[in-house]
Structure 1
Amino acid sequence: MLDHLILTVDYTKEWEQAMEQLPALLKLLGTRRITLTYVLQTHKRLHPDDTEGSATERLRRIGERLESSLGVETATHVANGFVAQEVQALARKLSADGVVACNRSHRAAKELFFGNTALNLARMTKVPLLIIPVQDEPPAAEEEILLATDGSKASLNAQAAFEKLMANQRTGRVVWAHSEEPEQSDEATEQRINELAERHPNVHRNILTGRPVDQILQTINDTRPLLTIMGKRGSTPIQEIMIGSTTEHVAAGSPYPVLMIP
């Protein structure tokens, strides 16, 4: 499904810990090629060892390890500038199918990770973004895939990706949390969820009432899915800089991987 991914690297222990979850996710997503990228942030004070040559050598060693353990093809790329901008430019240049980033902030009990590379990527991305948190919770209970939806047009691509994975007879779950005040679109959303479950007998339904962020995160913590898939709103510059979308909150607070689909 996501044949070629850009993998952002930051060389921290937290990044190494988060990447322990990578093998199962690459297998799930059908990834065969990875471009490892590191961005020298020239606007910040650099460590003496933080040079293009040193970064390239580090990426090469990581790539060799991934090729040996996962059987994927790897390439490396070192850039200078702002991480999110450079990663997005590389994704466009290589026509990559998605980007992988580490979220090191969810343990701080904050829903937003201001200033974090993952947040900037979440706001800017035009391709699927896989956010892998540092894993300090028990590992995924089973290979269940969770689709969190609000029934909007922005969620349709996420639903399509979810259904592709369900075609392999995996176990899935759809969660929709709506407010206590009914809206006109609620009936259509519930019908769409019911139709999805009828097409895939291995899909469970959770229709909940309450603040969507709270309900989705509670479901994630209860079910411990291998992956949560959500749609990303915002395709204009104004929408991209708006803070506080449900998807951003969930991606920031989830102790398990989240795939954002534009």
Structure 2
Amino acid sequence: MTGKSAVLATDLSTASETMIESETGLNCLSRIGVDRIHLVTVVPANVHSGMPGIDFEKRRKRGLRRYRETVEAAGFDVETHVVRGTPHRRINGIAGAVGADLILVGSRGKSPLENRVIGSTARNLARTTVVPLLVDRIERGVDDPETVRRHLFKRTLFATDFSENAERAFETFEYLRHATEEVTLVHVRSPKDDTGDEGDVEARLGELEDRLDSWGLEARTDVRRGDPAAEILAAEREHEPSTLLLGSRGRSRLRRLLLGSVSEEVVVNATGNVFLVPPPRSA
């Protein structure tokens, strides 16, 4: 595998610390070919260094130094970036500038506030990222949180509507397979489904199974009926994968919020990790 680079975004919170100090998580990144990590923290534009008793930039630089030692000890080359501005915009900007292959961000999962289910930065990144985005779910409501799923990609649930971008997401198994053991292929037949009859669907899923088998991955299929987002989330609850993989824009031609409505609902409501693969930048 050629070396890959990842932007690991942190706000120095407990959730970020848990994500960075997860030895298993760092090992998963290494196994999929990541050898360089860019640690990024963003000082919000409305925070000023002259505010009484507060020096956010110095505090964040100290925090990044500690994180850098942890990540370097795990065998990665590390660069740190302390920048100012709107978090998701600066994180996307750095990912583009350094040619990152993916962005990793921690999330404390479902919030008691219904309309703020994941952190605003993670949600905004999900809507706007131009490189694959991994939302690493962290326990909430405890003083010493752990990652919700210990392994990032060991058991992957891949949701497909057979669209071009779903195929693009599937192609990530070319490198995810080095950290994956089993895959559940999920397709949801909705009332407006135009992907063919059941025989066609089974045949197309069978082709994906064969490709996974050629990579040495155990695969199974799950064909469901109903609302796509609701059924994908139901499949996650049933199969309990390490990570749910899907394209960030599917068959819908409506570009609501720059993210397919199904993908957004899955990111917001999934229990475990979500790996979103966006269309090419030119799209």
Shorter-chain TM-score: which interval?
A: 0.7 to 0.9
Counterpart Cα distance in 2 of 1:244 and 1:233:
5
**Cα RMSD, aligned residues only:** 3.0
Counterpart Cα distance in 1 of 2:55 and 2:25:
25
- Aligned in 2, Cα 1:191/1:54: closer, same or farther, shift over 3 Å? same
Show the counterpart of 1:239.
255
The reply to whether residue 228 of structure 1 matches residue 244 of structure 2 is yes
Counterpart code for 1:38 = T
User: Which range moves more in the overlay, 190-199 or 33-42?
Assistant: 190-199
- Aligned in 2, Cα 1:35/1:163: closer, same or farther, shift over 3 Å? closer
Q: CA deviation at 1:140?
A: 5.4
Q: CA deviation at 1:52?
A: 2.3
SS in 2 for 1:221: helix
SS in 2 for 1:106: coil
Q: CA deviation at 1:164?
A: 4.3
Counterpart Cα distance in 1 of 2:185 and 2:36:
29
Q: What per-residue deviation string (whole Å, max 9, x for no partner) do you get for residues 148-175 of structure 1?
A: 1121122111111135434787221111
- Aligned in 2, Cα 1:72/1:240: closer, same or farther, shift over 3 Å? farther
Counterpart code for 2:231 = Q
Show the counterpart of 2:6.
5
- Aligned in 2, Cα 1:30/1:110: closer, same or farther, shift over 3 Å? farther
Q: CA deviation at 1:77?
A: 0.2
Show the counterpart of 2:17.
16
Counterpart code for 1:223 = H
SS in 1 for 2:15: helix
Mind listing any 5+ residue stretches in structure 2 that lack a counterpart? 141-146, 279-283
Matches within 5 A, 1:8-87: 8-19=9-20, 20=22, 22-43=25-46, 48-68=53-73, 70-87=74-91
Q: CA deviation at 1:120?
A: 0.6
The reply to whether residue 151 of structure 1 matches residue 129 of structure 2 is no
User: Which range moves more in the overlay, 247-256 or 101-110?
Assistant: 101-110
Q: Residue 166 of structure 1 contacts residue 172 of structure 1 at CA under 8 Å; is this kept in 2?
A: no
Q: CA deviation at 1:55?
A: 1.6
Mind listing any 5+ residue stretches in structure 1 that lack a counterpart? none
Show the counterpart of 1:185.
195
Q: Residue 123 of structure 1 contacts residue 240 of structure 1 at CA under 8 Å; is this kept in 2?
A: no
Q: Residue 43 of structure 2 contacts residue 57 of structure 2 at CA under 8 Å; is this kept in 1?
A: yes
The reply to whether residue 104 of structure 1 matches residue 96 of structure 2 is no
Counterpart Cα distance in 2 of 1:219 and 1:157:
21
Show the counterpart of 1:132.
136
- TM-score of the superposed pair, with normalisation by structure 1: 0.85
Taking only the aligned residue pairs, the percentage that are identical comes to 26
The reply to whether residue 170 of structure 1 matches residue 181 of structure 2 is yes
Counterpart Cα distance in 2 of 1:168 and 1:132:
15
SS in 1 for 2:188: strand
Q: Residue 147 of structure 1 contacts residue 230 of structure 1 at CA under 8 Å; is this kept in 2?
A: yes
Counterpart code for 2:134 = L
User: Which range moves more in the overlay, 247-256 or 133-142?
Assistant: 133-142
